[in-house]
Amino acid sequence: MENKPLPFRFSRFVANLQPSPTLSLNKRAKELGAQGKNIVNFSVGEPDYAPPIQVVESARQALKDGLTTYGPPGGSLKFKDLIRKKFKSDNGLDFARDEITVGIGAKELLFHSMLTLLRENDEAILFAPYWVSYKDQIMAAGGVPKILPLPENPKKDGYIDIPKLKEAINDRTKLIILNSPNNPAGYTLTKENFQEIADVIAPHPIWVISDEIYEYMNFGGAHVSFLNAVPQMRSRTIIINGLSKAFAMTGFRVGYAAGPKKAIGYIKGLGDHSSTCIPPFIEEAAITAMELGFPVMHEKISALRERRDFMMALINEKIKLPYIEPKGAFYLFLDLRPVLAKSKLYAPSDSGGFCAWLLDEAHLAMVPGEAFGSPGYARLCYSTSRSVIEDGVNRLVKALENIK
């Protein structure tokens, strides 16, 4: 019998998904490094320092104690109570146990939130620049991403175009995603910004996902949670957070979500049928981190702020291109359009082509703005040493001088 290929059909919701540009660039940079190339990697989105040693030792001890079986789906009561305590002390928010769930990183909880809140062809509004996975997660859930561009002059006009937001809302709009401090631009939204957004969406049946994973990496003052600013939006808001950035625990994959009981129940249910639980020995490490509290990371965050200031000073002195002032996270979003506009090889919006050339020729990895819905920009991560930052900026200076 002839072995003919069967006419398989795959889900149209996933057929158009693209690999994560940040993960792909980081992989390419590591491949070049393995070939002996001296790579400066500004593409990676994680701290370059280790989590507190107490956290590591807690996981190690938990393994020795035999915590290698399944754990409680959605998190143990002890861990949930620590999360509740964190929300109360740091954000002034009260959540019950059944309004909180735990997952394999904030990314999983974001995905499960999209699957919970969106029906086929529902629209979800994203404000560019946005984190790379939002768009694909919306599409995988059957939704339609509706992208609002970054204002042409964000320093003057702000980061959210309220008139465009009003125009974008229609009967199919079911979700808005907010992210402050922002990845990739590092900007932070104020109480007034949140109030403006809430005033626009309040008359409509629209959910809000507030991604606050960079909460503790805030250099412009105290973090403002969306629900701090607009508590009246609580019945339609899901807050996503986790330990990856705050405690440098990216590989531990611990995230948590808080919101209305029914929505959180559905999100937890998806976790029950996908990842089941976070590993118990990992949860023990997470519990230790939450018990230590964020003060244990103050020294690291202070060093991160110094690196930010150092990169900004170098760019101001040597490159003199505009960028969005990074008030949080650990990224600088550089506007390459003025120099690309003078090039014969690249259009002003082709930061993707330029960044690909930059990696291969100058061995400098930056993520192009196309990945975040803002062509012509590039994201530089400054979570690395001062010497690496200086080396990378110097390579960028030479590359821009030689651009054709």
For the ranges 8-22, 105-119, 234-248, 271-285, which has the lowest average pLDDT?
8-22
Give the highest mean pLDDT range of 11-15, 22-26, 71-75: 71-75
Answer with the residue of higher pLDDT: 229 or 404: 229
For domain 15-44+297-401, give the CATH superfamily: Aspartate Aminotransferase, domain 1 (3.90.1150.10)
The mean per-residue pLDDT over the stretch 382-395 comes to 96
| pLDDT given for residue 35 in this prediction | 87
Write down the architecture of domain 53-292 according to CATH: 3-Layer(aba) Sandwich (3.40)
| pLDDT given for residue 220 in this prediction | 80
Q: Please state, in angstroms and rounded to a whole number, the distance separating the CA atoms of residues 27 and 21.
A: 10
Answer with the residue of higher pLDDT: 353 or 29: 353
> For residue 5, is pLDDT > 80?
no
The mean per-residue pLDDT over the stretch 200-226 comes to 95
Q: Decide if 258 contacts 292 (C-beta within 8 A).
A: no
| pLDDT given for residue 6 in this prediction | 65
**Tens digits of per-residue pLDDT, 27-82?**
778 888 888 889 899 988 889 999 999 999 999 999 999 999 999 999 999 999 99
Cβ-proximal residues to 181 (8 Å cutoff; 6+ apart), any chain: 187, 188, 214, 215, 217, 218, 223, 327, 328, 329
The mean per-residue pLDDT over the stretch 254-271 comes to 98
> For residue 153, is pLDDT > 90?
no
* Residue 279 host element (H or E): none
| pLDDT given for residue 213 in this prediction | 98
> For residue 22, is pLDDT > 90?
no
The mean per-residue pLDDT over the stretch 253-278 comes to 97
| pLDDT given for residue 140 in this prediction | 95
Distance of CA 90 to the CA centre of its chain: 20
**Tens digits of per-residue pLDDT, 75-88?**
999 999 999 999 99
> For residue 13, is pLDDT > 90?
no
Residue 270: CB atoms within 10 A of its CB come to 18
Indicate the SS3 state at residue 340: helix
| pLDDT given for residue 362 in this prediction | 93
Q: How does residue 18 score in pLDDT terms, banded at 50, 70 and 90? A: confident
Residue 402: CB atoms within 10 A of its CB come to 9
- For the chain, domain boundaries: 15-44+297-401, 53-292
> For residue 309, is pLDDT > 70?
yes
Q: What is the DSSP letter of 326?
A: -
The mean per-residue pLDDT over the stretch 153-170 comes to 93
**Orientation of helix 298-314 relative to helix 386-401, angle to 10°:** 20
pTM as predicted: 0.94
- Strand spans (E) along 19-82: 40-41
Cβ-proximal residues to 145 (8 Å cutoff; 6+ apart), any chain: 123, 124, 126, 134, 135, 138, 139
Q: Decide if 201 contacts 163 (C-beta within 8 A).
A: no
**Tens digits of per-residue pLDDT, 168-205?**
999 999 999 999 999 999 999 999 999 999 999 999 99
| pLDDT given for residue 259 in this prediction | 98
> For residue 159, is pLDDT > 60?
yes
Q: Please state, in angstroms and rounded to a whole number, the distance separating the CA atoms of residues 377 and 323.
A: 9
**Tens digits of per-residue pLDDT, 94-148?**
999 999 999 999 999 999 999 999 999 999 999 999 999 999 999 999 999 999 9
| pLDDT given for residue 1 in this prediction | 53
